[in-house]
Amino acid sequence: MSKNNNFKNGLIAWIGGKKLLRKTIAPLIPKDIKSYIEPFGGGAWVLFYKDKWAEHEVYNDLDGRLVNLFRIVKYHPKAFKDEIKYLLGSREMFFQFLKGQFITDIQRAVQFFFIVTRSFGGNCRTFGVAKRKQGGACRSQYTVLDKIDGIHERLDTVLIENRDFETLIKQYDHEGAFFYCDPPYSSGTGYETSSTKEFEHERLRDVLKNIKGRFLLSYDDSPKIRELYKDFEIIEVSRYNGINHRLDANVNKTYKELLIANYPIKRMRAEGNSDSVPV
Ligand SMILES: C[S@@+](CC[C@H](N)C(=O)[O-])C[C@H]1O[C@@H](n2cnc3c(N)ncnc32)[C@H](O)[C@@H]1O
């Protein structure tokens, strides 16, 4: 089978997705790891940055819609493509799908994919129309079909889980384990998972401080997070605001983010292992 590299462009835009930061994060991931685990998988931009991070790889998210989507693309790519091929890029269909009426898991995956890719910035709420160039509701269906095959191949040996981070981290922890953790920001979220329960940042810190393996954590830069992780190595990085940047060439705003780890990331960065935008 010839290799399809289309997975490198990701499957979906996701709120807080690390599309713009993955080049910075990737060189800070140790090479001698036995397992690569993403407890907060989202759109899996870091996972998809590389052909394989480790022999054993796990994608996890508490949001069942994401998990169902990746499982369907992994196990039923053809059925997924057959369902999506003839969908209209229409406002009416968007709001019909938002009601969440589906019969099979394949239909559920297709409708969720449609809503994410047709909403503004992947927010799953507002119908995203593009004013200046191709995209939004009128994005091409053909590029999607090829992308599905790439993601399907990339996920071949990736285990897809749907658990709370604490259960997952404790289950997969061992000396050779590496966890790339990208939890909801400390400054509010907008995730389905936080509609019923606020994210517990202290609980995550308590779990991570006791693991046998290594972790790399990405967060917004806030006094609360700096205090919670004061015993760990912290580096600052910055990224452009993707959406504003695209809409107006004059808006060149950057945001500071933190990378936190229980291994020497400062040394790795100094040795040239990271190409982050300097702050
Ligand atoms: C910042 S996003 C991850 C983005 C991802 N790194 C990417 O590149 O697309 C955070 C994710 O954490 C998930 N989440 C929230 N609470 C969780 C929990 N208790 N356990 C596992 N996942 C959770 C959300 O559903 C969301 O998809």
| DSSP letter string, 48-82 | GGSS-SSSEEEEE-S-HHHHHHHHHHHH-HHHHHH
Q: List C-alpha distances in Å: 245 to 10, 51, 127, 250.
A: 19, 29, 20, 8
Give the Å distance between the CA of 139 and the centre of ligand 1. 26
Give the Å distance between the CA of 181 and the centre of ligand 1. 9
Which of 274, 256, 255 lies closest to 264 in space, CA to CA? 274
Domain that holds residue 153: 5-273
Q: How many domains does the chain have?
A: 1
Which of 161, 151, 156, 154 lies closest to 37 in space, CA to CA? 161
- Indicate which atom in ligand 1 lies nearest the CA of residue 164: 20
Whether 203 shows a pLDDT value over 50: the answer reads yes
Give the Å distance between the CA of 182 and the centre of ligand 1. 6
Nearest residue (by CA) to ligand 1, atom 1, is 16
Would you state the pLDDT for residue 136?
A: 62
On average, the pLDDT of the chain sits at 88
The proportion of the chain whose per-residue pLDDT surpasses 90, expressed as a percent, equals 64
CATH code for position 197 = 3.40.50.150
Residue 199 domain flag: yes
Whether ligand 1 lies within 6 angstroms of the CB of 7 is answered as no
Residue 263 domain flag: yes
- Pull the structure tokens for residue 136: 């939004």
Give the Å distance between the CA of 186 and the centre of ligand 1. 13
Nearest residue (by CA) to ligand 1, atom 15, is 193
Nearest residue (by CA) to ligand 1, atom 3, is 42
Whether 246 shows a pLDDT value over 70: the answer reads no
Mean pLDDT, rounded, for 217-239: 95
Would you state the pLDDT for residue 277?
A: 46
Q: Kindly report, residue by residue over 124-141, the tens digit of the pLDDT.
A: 888 877 666 666 666 677
Max mean pLDDT range (10-24, 35-49, 100-114, 196-210): 35-49
Choice between 180 and 99, residue whose per-residue pLDDT is larger: 180
Residue 225 domain flag: yes
What radius of gyration do the chain's Cα atoms show?
19
**CB of 181 closer than 8 Å to CB of 204:** yes
- pLDDT band with cut points at 50, 70 and 90 for residue 100: confident
Tell which one of 18, 40, 49 to mutate to probe ligand 1, the residue whose CB is within 8 A of the most ligand atoms.
40
Give the Å distance between the CA of 42 and the centre of ligand 1. 5
* Burial (CB count <10 Å: 0-12, 13-18, 19+), residue 97: buried
Mean pLDDT, rounded, for 37-48: 98
Residue 278 domain flag: no
Would you state the pLDDT for residue 273?
A: 65
pTM (predicted TM-score): 0.91
Give the Å distance between the CA of 210 and the centre of ligand 1. 21
Whether 263 shows a pLDDT value over 80: the answer reads yes
Nearest residue (by CA) to ligand 1, atom 18, is 164
- Indicate which atom in ligand 1 lies nearest the CA of residue 200: 19
Whether 190 shows a pLDDT value over 90: the answer reads no
Rounded distance between C-alpha atoms, residue 169 and residue 119, angstroms: 32
Backbone angles phi, psi at 236, to 5 degrees: -100, 140
Whether 162 shows a pLDDT value over 70: the answer reads yes
Mean pLDDT, rounded, for 207-215: 98
Would you state the pLDDT for residue 32?
A: 97
Whether ligand 1 lies within 6 angstroms of the CB of 63 is answered as yes
Residue 279 domain flag: no
Whether ligand 1 lies within 6 angstroms of the CB of 57 is answered as no
Amino acid, single-letter form, for residue 253: K
Residue 149 is given by DSSP the state H
**CB of 62 closer than 8 Å to CB of 165:** yes
Residue 9 domain flag: yes
Bridge partners (DSSP) listed for residue 234: 260
Rounded distance between C-alpha atoms, residue 38 and residue 33, angstroms: 13
Choice between 160 and 252, residue whose per-residue pLDDT is larger: 160
Would you state the pLDDT for residue 226?
A: 98
Residue 254 domain flag: yes
